[in-house]
Structure 1
Amino acid sequence: MSALVSPIEKSNRPELVLHHAVWRASQMGSFQAAGTPTGYSALDSELPNGGWPSSTLIELLVQQAGIGEMRLLRPALRRIAAGRRIVLLRPPYLPQAAAWAAWGLPPDSLLWVKAPRSADALWSAEQILRNGSCGALIFWEAHARPESLRRLLLAAQASDMLFWMLRPLSCLPHASPSPLRLALRPASGGIDIEIVKRRGPRRDEPIHLPLEDSPAVAVSPVLPQSSDAHLDQRAPATAAARNNPAELV
């Protein structure tokens, strides 16, 4: 027989304190690690912890390469490059050293990893996250099974790195363990960001971010080699890794 609890007894019970990994759908959740400001107040206000969360997997679903996704990340990358290295894993085009420098990012703070196959790239991403010696990883990958994403998420949770994974917008309906998924589409003067998944209430309206820039910094540092003749064609960092499936250059 269940015991009856009087209103007085109920009032003496301690309040329930939610762990950072537990959130109500009507409230904004949080991550254990502090967020890095995105540089855009309109976006920060819609993200748990008020910025890009570290120690997790952030998915950016892009309609096409070069719509402003790198300019979106630029403010956070500048913070990271001040003290730690940034890894570019399997970018769609050759990174441009001159464009990085124009953004205030020292080219020698960047590591470019080339992987011939998706399996090699996924393995490399996991090793980079587990190593933890860098400040951020940007990984371009179109083909990844849910179990592979889960492994990357677990590796990210054991690090203090910022980890963005750029995938095609066609991956939007596919299941993903990522706690933060954003869909990026080009818009007049900037980009529209749809919050596909977050620890917080649902938002149906996209966030429009203007990405106005001066000509000196408007060019993305990851573009086709033939897109602009004045760009420096050198790679950001030069090294070699032999007998490994992924090549670091």
Structure 2
Amino acid sequence: MAALPKDISSIHESLWRGHQLARAHGKTVDTGYAALSAELPGGGWPIGALVELLVQQPGIGEMRLLKPALVAASKRPVALLQAPHVPNSLAFAYLGVPLDKLMLLRAPKTADALWCAERVLNARSCGALLVWQQHIRSEALRRLHLAAQATETLLILVRPLAAAQDSSPAALRLGVRPADGGLDVDVIKRRGPTRTDQLSIHLQPSPILLSPHGRVRRHLPAPAFAGSVPAEVLTSD
């Protein structure tokens, strides 16, 4: 029986030693937070893969956490699907996401939202797609993950923290809780060793990005097809 090479990672890029972070399969985008990037394979959010943010509740700072990545992705449209509140367009513009790149997509049912997400990914026109879902079946997760792999889109699925108990094909899963001055982040799943310690991420104060008090000046049909409709013009109170 032939002996295994000392460096098993030379067999295939998807293999890594148990104590090491995997090499990135494709492109990544810097998180903008050195402590977090250092814990992720490739040093950033994976592009063309399913990423899950599992939040204690929406609006605790997850959008500010994603802000540097969204700015980097906004050379192409940034789609927000089933956002829990109305996006504050002035706040996004202040942070560097151009209004003409911001798209708000709505769907009446979960199945419609997932269909819409797949269509956005298949169009390959968006730099980032953020999807909010309370409940999603495992086969739907797999479909999203597979659809993302054929793209160069940053795909973020925001789900309740309780979903951490469920299995998922996501390449990266982070648990996010509010903390004084920022967020506590648990690395639930990554291609690499298990991390049991929380990361403390300091967030700079910024305008509210998602507000229940915002108002939408024009409405898109739902579900909407990314790439075939103009970005909404959004305002906030």
2:188 is aligned to 196
Q: In structure 1, what residue type is equivalent to 2:156?
A: W
Residue from 210, 213, 216 that aligns with 1:225:
213
Instruction: Tell me, yes or no, if the aligned pair for 2:116 and 2:224 is still in contact at 8 Å.
Output: no
Q: How many residues align?
A: 225
Structure 2 counterparts to residues 24-173 of structure 1, below 5 A: 24-81=17-74, 83-173=75-165
Q: In structure 1, what residue type is equivalent to 2:213?
A: Q
Q: Give the match's secondary structure for 1:57.
A: strand
Rounded Cα–Cα distance in structure 2 between residues aligned with 1:173 and 1:92: 23
204 and 15 in structure 1: CA distance in 2 versus 1, 3 angstrom threshold: closer
Rounded Cα–Cα distance in structure 1 between residues aligned with 2:212 and 2:11: 47
Rounded Cα–Cα distance in structure 2 between residues aligned with 1:219 and 1:65: 16
Instruction: Tell me, yes or no, if the aligned pair for 2:177 and 2:183 is still in contact at 8 Å.
Output: yes
Shift of 1:142: 1.1
Shift of 1:78: 0.9
Question: Percent of aligned pairs with the same residue?
Answer: 43
Shift of 1:20: 2.5
Q: In structure 2, what residue type is equivalent to 1:46?
A: E
Instruction: Tell me, yes or no, if the aligned pair for 2:85 and 2:212 is still in contact at 8 Å.
Output: yes
Structure 2 counterparts to residues 198-213 of structure 1, below 5 A: 198-213=190-205
Q: Give the match's secondary structure for 1:172.
A: helix
Q: Give the match's secondary structure for 2:72.
A: helix
- Unaligned 5+ segments in structure 2 are 226-231, 233-237
What TM-score comes out, normalization by structure 1 length?
Answer: 0.84
Instruction: Tell me, yes or no, if the aligned pair for 2:175 and 2:185 is still in contact at 8 Å.
Output: yes
Q: Give the match's secondary structure for 2:49.
A: coil
15 and 65 in structure 1: CA distance in 2 versus 1, 3 angstrom threshold: closer
Rounded Cα–Cα distance in structure 1 between residues aligned with 2:106 and 2:121: 16
Shift of 1:23: 2.4
Rounded Cα–Cα distance in structure 1 between residues aligned with 2:183 and 2:121: 29
Shift of 1:76: 0.9
177 and 14 in structure 1: CA distance in 2 versus 1, 3 angstrom threshold: closer
Instruction: Tell me, yes or no, if the aligned pair for 1:96 and 1:234 is still in contact at 8 Å.
Output: no
Shift of 1:223: 1.7
Runs (4+) of structure 1 exceeding 6 A deviation are none
Shift of 1:225: 1.1
Rounded Cα–Cα distance in structure 2 between residues aligned with 1:25 and 1:15: 12
Rounded Cα–Cα distance in structure 2 between residues aligned with 1:149 and 1:87: 18
Query: Counting strand residues as a fraction of each chain, which structure ranks higher?
Result: 2
99 and 19 in structure 1: CA distance in 2 versus 1, 3 angstrom threshold: same
- Unaligned 5+ segments in structure 1 are 227-232
More moved, 95-104 vs 196-205? 95-104
Rounded Cα–Cα distance in structure 2 between residues aligned with 1:192 and 1:132: 32
**Larger-Rg structure:** 1
Q: Give the match's secondary structure for 2:105.
A: strand
